[in-house]
Amino acid sequence: MIGRVINDRFRIVSVIARGGMGKVYRAEQAPLGRQIALKVLEATYEGDNDPEFHKRFFLEASTQSKLTHPNTVTIFDYGKTDDDVYFIAMELLEGRTLHRYLRDEAPLSASKATHIARQICRSLREAHSLGIIHRDLKPANVFLVQHGEQADFVKVLDFGLVKDLGDKGEDLTQTGLFMGSPKYMSPEQIRGDRVDGRADIYALGVLLYEMLTGHAPFERANSVNILMAHVHEEVPPMATHNVDVPWPLEALVRRAMAKAPGDRFASMDELLSALTTVASEAGLALSRSGDAPLSGEYGVGSGSTTLSRSDMLLTPTPDAGLDSLAGLASTSDAQGRRSGVKWVVLVGLLLLSVSAVAFVLVRSSRYGSDGAAPVVTPAPAPEVPEEVEDPAQAAAGVLTTEVTIVSEPPGAEVRIGDSDVVYTTPATLTWTGEEATRGRSVTFRFQLDGYRDLNAVRTVVGRRMHVSGRLQPVDNEQDRARRPPSTSRTPPSSGSMEGNESSVGLMGYKLEPY
């Protein structure tokens, strides 16, 4: 294959890696001159006699091409040549897998482990917002690169076992083959139960455990024993591996690895918020780069949930005691409090003196001889914060949430969750009952002709929710041509969220290889 040109544009240069089903090559894309990675199936490979293998190969490519988050490897193209060479053209990465990183340097510090885990959260949060789950998250599928000045920048790879939850057709992974990696599979995946995004949360919990201890939580002589341990055995304490991990972080891992999906974090957004808070409380290095990724507003800033310590980590089990969260920094606080008091007094007196002088100087320059104040244009009103409910109302079980949706520019079409109902910004609606359930994660999908699609994930936390989207213009006419036609219709007055997503959410991406 060296020197061959695939589909008149990908010239194969050298081999990067070999596997049982094919190879990954370094290639050059013409006429751009861009270096890429080209994943090619062996011509003789038949998927271990699996008749659906080639469909699954294209499912991986078409599904991953929907994902645009910086922490997810980018798919440029995919297809099949005239002589049946199946290929996926993707971003070329220079670095090492988390598998090799752990083999060389584990256990990792709590700061490094949370830094990597938070980036994985961001990647999978976008995937989950599009109804896509990974199902094969493991160290070999996490790649670490140097991204500008940021070391250990994560790229999540190989959505080869993904399941598009919006697909009402056949499940191409239910072919009688064992799919997944035993060390990282969730109990429900092992039992063959219905799988959702919480299976990826479990796998990320396993990854965190391995990063912090240098060992997978369940290491047994064979795969069957490993699978049974995931289903039946409790997670071993991290102290058994002679590592010192802050208890709040260990408690977070335990909750992510709860046997029942309902006992885990409800979403990647919630897990990311918990990781951020635990890292902050423990005084760990915390980089916020990437909290607002290019593909949408997925940050943990304004408009997102702010979880209390107990909300984040307390599990239904009585022994989950996390009082240590409140006392994580108690020693350093006590030491600094005595010296801090006298410094506060001195700084306060200094500030008063400076303020008095500044007031005289500013007043003389801003006011005329008649002493009249100039006309001042008022600043725009700040964004309305989410408001917690009245305790009495909450106790009575009457929950409502008023949702305000705006965009820049206005006039964007917005779909909420799996609904096919379309709202036009600015819009205001009221949720009651299940729609207003606190802690529910909701995806708002913005679309406006001439602008890139935007996904904003928000969590219901109170009586008011403000959702805003700043849309970016498309780069060229080709981007516009790829967009499906608008399907606007007037939303019902009740704000119902019934219906399902057929072509919505896949805007601007090809669904089939041809």
Residues carrying an active site annotation:
136
The residue written with tokens 């293998």 in the block is 53
Q: What is the DSSP letter of 451?
A: B
Report d(CA 131, CA 128) in Å as an integer. Answer: 5
CB atoms within 10 A of CB 368: 8
Asked if 41 contacts 85 with a C-beta cutoff of 8 angstroms, the reply is yes
Asked if 21 contacts 11 with a C-beta cutoff of 8 angstroms, the reply is no
Q: Is 94 exposed, middle or buried (0-12, 13-18, 19+ CB in 10 A)?
A: exposed
Contacts 24+ apart (CB under 8 A), 405-408: 405/429, 405/444, 405/467, 405/468, 406/466, 406/467, 406/468, 406/469, 407/446, 407/448, 407/468, 407/469, 407/470, 407/471, 408/468, 408/469, 408/470, 408/471
Asked if 163 contacts 133 with a C-beta cutoff of 8 angstroms, the reply is yes
CB atoms within 10 A of CB 331: 9
The SS3 assignment for 489 reads coil
Angle (CA) 239 151 203, round 5°: 45
Asked if 265 contacts 253 with a C-beta cutoff of 8 angstroms, the reply is no
